[in-house]
Amino acid sequence: MRLKFVLFITLITLLFSNCSDDDNDTTNPEFVELTFDFQNNTQSWEGDFADYPVGEEDFYELSYELSNLPIPLNTNSGALKQSGNNHSDDLFMFIRKQLNGLEPNTDYKVSFEIEFASDVADGQVGVGGSPGEGVTIKAGATIIKPEKVNQSGFYQMNIDKNNQTNSGSDMVVVGDFSNDTNQNEYTLKNLVANNILTVSADSSGELWLVVGTDSGFEATTTLYYNLIKVKLEKQ
């Protein structure tokens, strides 16, 4: 009886040791399902921006931080807050996270579920485009770190996200920033995108996840990522 009890406690310990909020390591390279709720920390999601002139961070009012959901939502709930003023008519705001522990040099089919807070009602009109439907939500995965690079004084991405409402080979359109209501107040919106692309882990069993907004609305967009779920299925 004592042996069974010890084995049970050992199994429970192993299971919970693999559920760290800030752990990049996957637990099953055949089928991986990860949930990030940002209650206490960023869970190693990094924020950055592209498609704007070098040195114009203040003018574009770029910001990224761990925050709480805004009123009238649950202000005790953690979220990733990202904001920018789109003077370039093409501002790209993105978050990224590295995963490891996958099977090296192996293809994985990727699915996303993304829940975020938006304060833009459906069908609104804005400068350059709608503040809701004119801000495209994209998600993807890459073998290299998604980052901005200086191209002749203008920051552009080193991966293929394409522009605004178009999908690229590394990032796919999964929805838009409108909140599916007729009210301009923060509401949680959920987007589900199954099997949107296939990506290969590198020789160390690592890859990068990336989620972002590609804007055609020429003013400020502020969103709160409340929940991100990712599934990777070995091919």
The pLDDT tens digits for 6-17 are: 333 333 333 333
How would you classify the pairing of strands 154-157 and 52-53?
A: antiparallel
What domains lie within the chain, and their CATH numbers? 22-234 (2.60.120.200)
pLDDT tens digits for range 124-164 = 998 878 999 999 999 999 999 999 999 999 999 999 999 98
Largest alpha-carbon pair distance within the chain? 71
DSSP E strand boundaries for the chain: 31-36, 46-50, 52-53, 63-68, 78-85, 92-99, 107-118, 135-142, 148-151, 154-157, 171-176, 187-200, 207-215, 220-234
Mean pLDDT of the chain, nearest integer: 89
Q: Please name the residue ranges forming H helices in the chain.
A: 2-17
Which percentage of the chain shows pLDDT scores above 70?
A: 88
Q: Report whether pLDDT(59) > 60.
A: yes
pLDDT at 9: 33
Give the three-state DSSP class for 164: coil
Within 8 A by CB and 6+ apart from 179, the residues are 118, 119, 120, 121, 122, 132, 186, 187, 189
